[in-house]
């Protein structure tokens, strides 16, 4: 009989319609090869897929962003609602741990660190694995630098609270998984005594999810995919619109720019009102279909942490990518070999324009990126390491 594992996630990873959910779902699928898994998550708006060996337990969400921000002031805890899931999940975590006495518990985000104490009260000897997704205190500090006045003070405090909680997390978890060497080094720098717990499991994808028998002709599109309520993506979209997109339009007048992602922030939505060549789709069932049709995927990020699954998806779909250095951070890349890297508006615009006008260069770039993906970021390339750790 196989062991049971408790997998705690604030987001139901199905459907896999964002980078975070893609990572969570892909890790979960690998763990199902070894464990019978109880997934504890918030109730979703769509039915969860029926997957063998997976039992889904849902709790109702009462903690929203406003409540989380207020609670963070007296709990001195990160203001994301994920940092406060103990409000809704405590009772169910305790119930499941008592019923099943799990040998392993997987916590799918560093912001869920408050769940560790709840698990330990019922199962003091269980092995707890935490998947960090990002170095959140660094992200919080980046956000604070963009704010002013009271907001700047609040988010600066938020960065301090998050760093403190990451230190506690390093003490309490048995293993800490990061998406990149850079994030791994950041966590190790927090706590030298716990640095042995840190292991890199890069973001990865399952190629089977991207294969199709349908041919999609390339369109004169560029595309920015991602969750459009995530502040690095919001800032990337507005930066690209102001400083880069006009330079591209001057040389490619018929260009279309697609912004494809859920939870569109008002600042992003306003871009389409100002320019009819910008199409904002909101949530779509298949982001991959849009990436397949686009001639170029852009990742003009100025902030962020971890690695960008949007780039890996573009590599899987053989669509060339132009990215900032920050956007490609953590990935194995070579400028002008498997990706174009540009950190100023003029160079970024020239790189996009070149790929729009030189189809053959885009094909070569995308083919090399595809080989990089297969060698380093496909599920089979990380399966053995992940199962050896968990």
Structure confidence at residue 376 (pLDDT): 93
pLDDT above 70 covers a percentage of the chain that reads: 98
Structure confidence at residue 49 (pLDDT): 62
Residue 239 has pLDDT above 70, yes or no: yes
Structure confidence at residue 345 (pLDDT): 97
Residue 45 has pLDDT above 60, yes or no: no
Structure confidence at residue 305 (pLDDT): 74
- Asked if 220 contacts 242 with a C-beta cutoff of 8 angstroms, the reply is no
Q: What is the 3-state secondary structure (H, E, C) of 312-363?
A: HHHHHCCCCEEECCCCCCCCCCCECCCEEECCCHHHHHHHHHHHHHCHHHHH
Segment 19-46 mean pLDDT: 90
User: Which of 48, 45, 1 shows the shortest CA–CA distance to 28?
Assistant: 48
- Asked if 299 contacts 328 with a C-beta cutoff of 8 angstroms, the reply is yes
Close Cβ partners of 364 (under 8 Å, ≥ 6 residues apart): none
pLDDT above 90 covers a percentage of the chain that reads: 79
Residue 306 has pLDDT above 90, yes or no: no
Structure confidence at residue 196 (pLDDT): 97
- Alpha-carbon distance of 361 to 272, in angstroms, equals 30
**Beta-strand (E) ranges in 161-306?**
175-178, 198-200, 221-225, 256-260, 278-282, 296-299
Structure confidence at residue 238 (pLDDT): 96
Segment 112-136 mean pLDDT: 96
Residue 332 has pLDDT above 80, yes or no: yes
3-state secondary structure of 178: strand
Structure confidence at residue 46 (pLDDT): 58
Structure confidence at residue 368 (pLDDT): 97
For 283: left if phi > 0, alpha if psi spans -120 to 50, otherwise beta; the answer is beta
Tally of CB atoms within 10 A around 359: 12
Q: Give percent helix, percent strand, percent coil of the chain, each to the nearest 5.
A: 50, 15, 35
Mean model confidence pLDDT for the chain? 93
Segment 54-82 mean pLDDT: 93
Structure confidence at residue 216 (pLDDT): 77
DSSP-derived pairing of the beta strands 36-42 and 127-131: unpaired
- Alpha-carbon distance of 168 to 75, in angstroms, equals 14
pLDDT-wise least confident of 29-38, 283-292, 349-358: 283-292
pLDDT-wise least confident of 144-158, 209-223, 349-363: 209-223
3-state secondary structure of 301: coil
Structure confidence at residue 258 (pLDDT): 97
Half-sphere exposure of 112 (CA within 13 A, CB side): 28
Segment 180-206 mean pLDDT: 95
Segment 340-353 mean pLDDT: 97
Per-residue burial over 122-137, b if 16 or more Cβ lie within 10 Å, else e, is bbeebbbbbbbbbbbb
DSSP state of 275: -
Structure confidence at residue 48 (pLDDT): 59
- Alpha-carbon distance of 247 to 165, in angstroms, equals 44
């Amino acid at each position: 009989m196989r062991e049971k594992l408790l997998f705690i996630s604030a987001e139901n990873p199905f459907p896999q319609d964002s980078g975070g959910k893609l990572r969570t779902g892909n890790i979960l699928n690998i763990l199902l090869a070894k464990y019978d898994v109880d997934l504890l998550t918030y109730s979703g708006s769509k039915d969860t897929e029926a997957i063998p060996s997976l039992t889904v337990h849902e709790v109702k969400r009462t903690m929203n962003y406003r409540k989380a921000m207020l609670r963070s002031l007296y709990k001195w805890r990160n203001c994301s609602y994920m940092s406060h899931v103990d409000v809704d999940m405590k009772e169910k975590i305790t119930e499941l741990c008592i019923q099943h006495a799990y040998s392993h518990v997987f916590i799918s985000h560093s912001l869920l660190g408050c769940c560790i104490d709840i698990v330990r009260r019922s199962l003091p000897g269980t092995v707890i694995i935490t998947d960090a997704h990002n170095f959140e205190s660094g992200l919080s500090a980046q956000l604070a630098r963009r704010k002013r006045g009271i907001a700047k003070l609040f988010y600066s405090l938020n960065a301090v609270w998050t760093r403190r909680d990451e230190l506690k997390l390093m003490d309490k978890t048995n293993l800490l998984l990061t998406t990149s060497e850079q994030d791994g080094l950041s966590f190790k720098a927090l706590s030298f005594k716990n640095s042995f717990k840190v292991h890199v499991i890069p973001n990865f994808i399952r190629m089977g999810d991207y294969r199709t028998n349908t041919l999609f002709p390339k369109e004169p599109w560029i595309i920015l995919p991602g969750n459009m309520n995530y502040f690095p993506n919001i800032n990337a979209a507005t930066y690209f619109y102001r400083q880069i997109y006009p330079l591209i339009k001057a040389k490619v007048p018929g260009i279309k720019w697609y912004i494809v992602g859920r939870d569109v922030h008002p600042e992003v939505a306003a871009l389409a009102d100002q320019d009819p060549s910008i199409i904002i789709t909101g949530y779509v069932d298949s982001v991959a279909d849009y990436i397949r049709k686009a001639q170029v995927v852009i990742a003009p990020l100025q902030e962020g942490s971890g690695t960008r699954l949007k780039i890996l998806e573009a590599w899987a779909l053989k669509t060339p990518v132009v990215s900032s250095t920050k956007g490609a951070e953590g990935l194995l890349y070579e400028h002008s070999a498997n990706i174009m890297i540009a950190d100023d508006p003029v160079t970024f615009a020239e790189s996009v324009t070149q790929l729009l006008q030189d189809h053959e260069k885009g094909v070569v770039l995308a083919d090399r990126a595809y080989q990089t993906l297969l060698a380093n970021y496909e599920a089979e390339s990380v399966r053995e390491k992940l199962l050896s750790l968990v």
